[in-house]
Amino acid sequence: MDSSQLARLMVPARQPQATSSLGRSGLFFVWVLLCCLPSVARANVTLPEVLGSHMVVQSGEPVKLWGWAAPGEPVTLRLGGVVVAQTLGQGKGNPWKMQLPAQKPGPIPDIEVSASNTLRLTDLLAGEVWVTGGGPNMVMTLQKGSWCSFGGVLNADEEVAQATDSEIRLFRPGEGWMVCSPQAAPAFSGTAYFFARRLRSELKAPVGLILAAMGVASVEQWTPGCSFEGDPAFEASKAKAAAFGDEWGQAFTEHQKAMNLWRKEAEKAKAAGQPEPPRPDSPLSPGQMLLLRDSRPFLEAGQLFERRIRPLIPLSVKGVLWYHGETDARRSEFYGNTLQRLIRGWRQEWGRALPFGLVTLAGVGGAEPWAPFRGSFALIREAQIEAAQKIPEVRVISATDLGLKSYTTYPPNKQAVGERSALWALAHVYGRKSVADGPKFGEIGFAPGKAWVELRENAEGLRLTGPGGFELAGADRKFIPAKAQINEGRIELTAPGLEKPEALRYAFGNFPECTVYNGAGLPALPFRTDRWPVQPAAR
């Protein structure tokens, strides 16, 4: 019933010649009521950004929809013009919730949500929906552009020209759902796109990708804030971080402002062919700058989860592909526990044991396991492997061997990362019988001057691409390169001059040598037998 209909019911059809004061009061009440009614009618029903035209919904599961409407306002859900559900709005703070029956893979009819207004979602697909999250390596796009200054995968122009599969869709916050095409593909996450392309080839179903990634963001920011409640170690680190901010924060902020102004002036000078103005001196030492950077995540725990992940819930998704750790390499001692909290926290919030695929960081820098400014990619990988060992339905996808000396943190071979990630999903999520992991090391033995490693799983077609990658150390904890060879299905290692080896490491470094592969071309994960401190004592 609209306001005009209500007015006709409440106001007498014929008015008396004279109106009493009581009648005037009654008419005033009606006038006030009618003034209020249009504001209710104009409280348009709204939907979260992730529910939009061109989206992919998870097939085989009820399609969960939610949004906001004025309290008590009827909300109607239609699929292909047919009413399938109705509910009432609950105001801005409380979303209404409805759902559609499970859909088969492929196109689905338009969805309409109606109240005082009507929202129509068109060009919809049911298929496989994945959250592709993490750091800059997940952000890295097929091509470089204003959308990503460090984009550009191998053979980028060719890959973009061939990106014609319209049943691959990508959701980017702030931009909505993008349909794969040569025009849209340059801004697609490279890893996510190649992951989806392989899934499409194998599953013959549409694939929807939800990008939840950001450069220079810590694992704490992506973890639900409640996960840290009651943790005295975290609270102590947070207090220390706040103290750093109180002491140096203002100076750092002022320096950033000065640097921004200097950059603008430098650009003007360059354009005019004039000398660059003097660069502002930093009021903080390099060490103080690093301490501020390393402490920041404790003060921002949960922020990205609330902004990027919570708005997705309760959307049905198949799983999570997580490619992260670059930013936290200097803080690697915190990464493992927090990553496990992230996985458990997301699962708790979603109310289901989402499968997680953790992509290891590619080699960068030197062979050492810890560098003063870069930190330890080796320890980040180790934290991922430990998380997979402790939490069910979590697997590690190796990209350790994909780094190039000529590149830094963002290697361009995202094709291999996406392909290996898809192999994990096909085998461990979709139940396909295929080799999806590299060889797994088993029992390790030591003898004077040598060691050996048994292979436990996925070792068919075992091969070494070279004799390196392994290191042995004695009681002095000084690792020396060991020569590897395959003998009767196990890897034997020799280190002349080392009388009594006590510890073995494989591919344990920022840019390690990876030599152990199986017949499927998949690499073994890094490992070490020791738990000796890796970071320099000076830190």
Domain residues of the chain, as ranges?
A: 1-11+23-42, 56-121, 129-224+302-436, 234-299, 440-528
- For the cut 70, the answer to whether the pLDDT of residue 461 exceeds it is yes
The alpha carbons of the chain give a radius of gyration, in whole angstroms, of 29
| pLDDT of the residue at 536 | 64
User: Which of these ranges, 195-209, 403-417, 459-473, 525-539, has the smallest mean pLDDT?
Assistant: 525-539
| 8 Å CB contact between 447 and 224 | no
Measured CA distances, 385 to 172, 456, 494 (Å): 29, 16, 26
- For the cut 50, the answer to whether the pLDDT of residue 79 exceeds it is yes
Angle, in degrees to the nearest 10, between helices 232-271 and 286-299: 120
Considering only residues 152 and 6, tell me which one the structure prediction assigns the higher pLDDT. Answer: 152
| 8 Å CB contact between 359 and 397 | yes
| pLDDT of the residue at 326 | 93
Q: Helix, strand, or coil here: 18?
A: coil
Nearest to 65 by CA among 57, 81, 174, 130: 57
Q: Residue 43 has what DSSP assignment? A: S
d(CA 448, CA 430): 46
| pLDDT of the residue at 407 | 63
The pLDDT > 90 percentage for the chain reads 82
d(CA 244, CA 296): 9
| pLDDT of the residue at 253 | 87
Calculate the CA 86 to chain-centre distance: 34
| pLDDT of the residue at 405 | 80
What are the residues facing 124 on neighbouring strands? 108
Q: Residue 141 has what DSSP assignment? A: B
- Superfamily classification of domain 129-224+302-436: SGNH hydrolase (3.40.50.1110)
Q: Helix, strand, or coil here: 459?
A: coil
- For the cut 60, the answer to whether the pLDDT of residue 15 exceeds it is no
Average pLDDT over residues 15-36: 39
d(CA 448, CA 456): 24
Q: What burial class does residue 270 get, using C-beta atoms within 10 Å of its C-beta: 0-12 exposed, 13-18 middle, 19+ buried?
A: exposed
